[in-house]
Structure 1
Amino acid sequence: MAASLLAFVLAAGLLTVTPGVDTALVLRAATVEGTRRAALAALGIGLGCLVWGAAVAVGLAALLNSAPLAYALLSWAGAAYLCWLGLRMLLRPRSSMQHGAEAAAASGRAWFLRGLLGNLLNPKIGVFYVSFLPQFVPAGMAPGAWTFGLACLHVLMGLLWCALLIGATRPLGRVLRRPAVVRWLDRLTGGVFIGFGVKLALSR
């Protein structure tokens, strides 16, 4: 159990700090709109991930109990997805954050909804959770409950990272926007994804 949690914290921590749409959204809100609206955006992001985590946990538990073969096929598909994602990040790392989060000034509620809907309407998060979270479920543990617990831990890590971003918006924002930093984090994360994809493909 301890080994699984430690491995998850290391892998999910790297995923959390890699710049992306969520990071851009929080930095944008903190820079232009202030701390409160940036915090609401972060809460929306966290809630969106939590909903996906609950859906994946329930679906995986039901699939494992009712159709082991379908679960195995899903695992293979998840392994292929992780390897494809990792190769793309290794071979074509970005040189800047994704700036889909750029937007005009808005109310706190609007920032919360941007964070929430940006994740709820992104099926890639569900696919990633399906392929990533089950690898950290220890033998003998209830897969549904443990998977949801890992999703909660990932959300908590994300909120802590967002709090750090908000508290140190300018220095951290400058660092995370550097092309060399974005490329380095993409390559590192890509290597981790390939490793976990191979592990998922070879595991029983």
Structure 2
Amino acid sequence: MLTATLAFAGVAALINLTPGLDTLLVVRTSVTHGRTGGRAAAAGIITGCLAWGLATAVGLTALLTASRLAYDALRIAGAGYLAWLGLSALWRCRRQKAHDGQKHPKGAAMATSDEEPAGSFASGRGSAFRAGLGANLLNPKAGIFYMSLIPQFIPHGAPVFGTTLLLTAIDVIELALWYRVVSSAASVLSERATRPSSRRRMEQLSGVTFLGFAAHLLLADRT
């Protein structure tokens, strides 16, 4: 049991360190809302992972491979949600640019401002948490990941339910540690990027990237 647990921890760590949608969401929220916002988004993602792990333990994730309809419904919903995040980021960026143009007309002195920028989640930590949770739960590939990876590390004769929850706990602990590092590093970048134009570029980049993830999820097959 110990050997299987250590092996899973190593494999999960390699996967968790690979940049992806969830990491982008933590980075983007940390830059636009600071460390607290980034960690709220990370908490949402981790809650989604816990839900997928529990679903795997009781066998619910098998529906994603057994039912094409269930998989496609979740995939389309996830793509729509990511598209909404991307378009919302681009729209806020455009509105903020227009606002800054009115506030600082061309030729006027541009003062450095430390005010809170127009962020990705207007309602703060609660919205950041919901964004992380939604992005994770509406991604069917997250369910497929848990369903396909965890059973490979359950020793023969070990209780499936308890062992699945144990491996899920290991995975989310690794994620929590990783996202803590990511949010801290990104928040330092946020403190240095005080110019509104720098924050707008971050919003533009994240918005376009979210749209790319949405397109990939929409066009992806189960395979």
TM-score range normalised by the length of the shorter chain: 0.5 to 0.7
The reply to whether residue 142 of structure 1 matches residue 174 of structure 2 is no
The reply to whether residue 164 of structure 1 matches residue 181 of structure 2 is yes
| Identical aligned residues as a percent | 40
* Bigger CA radius of gyration: 2
Instruction: Find the aligned partners of 2:126 and 2:58 in 1 and give their Cα distance.
Output: 29
Which segments of 5 or more consecutive residues in structure 1 lack a partner in the other structure? 64-72, 75-97, 174-204
Residue equivalent to 1:10: 10
Shift of the 31–127 alpha-carbon distance from structure 1 to 2, 3 Å rule, reads same
Letter in 2 for 1:42: A
Instruction: Find the aligned partners of 1:58 and 1:46 in 2 and give their Cα distance.
Output: 19
In the superposition, the TM-score normalised over structure 1's length comes to 0.62
Shift of the 18–5 alpha-carbon distance from structure 1 to 2, 3 Å rule, reads same
Shift of 1:168: 2.0
1:72-151 to 2 correspondences below 5 Å: 103=89, 104=92, 105=119, 106=121, 107-151=124-168
Letter in 1 for 2:34: G
The reply to whether residue 44 of structure 1 matches residue 44 of structure 2 is yes
Shift of the 37–171 alpha-carbon distance from structure 1 to 2, 3 Å rule, reads closer
Shift of the 6–129 alpha-carbon distance from structure 1 to 2, 3 Å rule, reads same
Shift of 1:20: 0.3
Letter in 1 for 2:3: A
Instruction: Find the aligned partners of 1:117 and 1:34 in 2 and give their Cα distance.
Output: 20
Instruction: Find the aligned partners of 1:24 and 1:100 in 2 and give their Cα distance.
Output: 15
SS of alignment partner, residue 130 of structure 1: helix
Runs of 4+ in 1 over 4 A off after TM superposition: 98-102, 170-173
Instruction: Find the aligned partners of 2:187 and 2:136 in 1 and give their Cα distance.
Output: 25
Instruction: Find the aligned partners of 2:39 and 2:154 in 1 and give their Cα distance.
Output: 31
2:52–2:137 CA contact under 8 A, matched in 1: yes
1:174-185 to 2 correspondences below 5 Å: none
1:25–1:101 CA contact under 8 A, matched in 2: no
Paired residues in the alignment total: 140
Residue equivalent to 1:56: 56
Instruction: Find the aligned partners of 2:127 and 2:51 in 1 and give their Cα distance.
Output: 19
Which segments of 5 or more consecutive residues in structure 2 lack a partner in the other structure? 67-81, 93-118, 191-223
2:34–2:187 CA contact under 8 A, matched in 1: no
Instruction: Find the aligned partners of 2:171 and 2:188 in 1 and give their Cα distance.
Output: 24
Shift of 1:170: 7.1
Letter in 1 for 2:28: R
Instruction: Find the aligned partners of 2:184 and 2:127 in 1 and give their Cα distance.
Output: 21
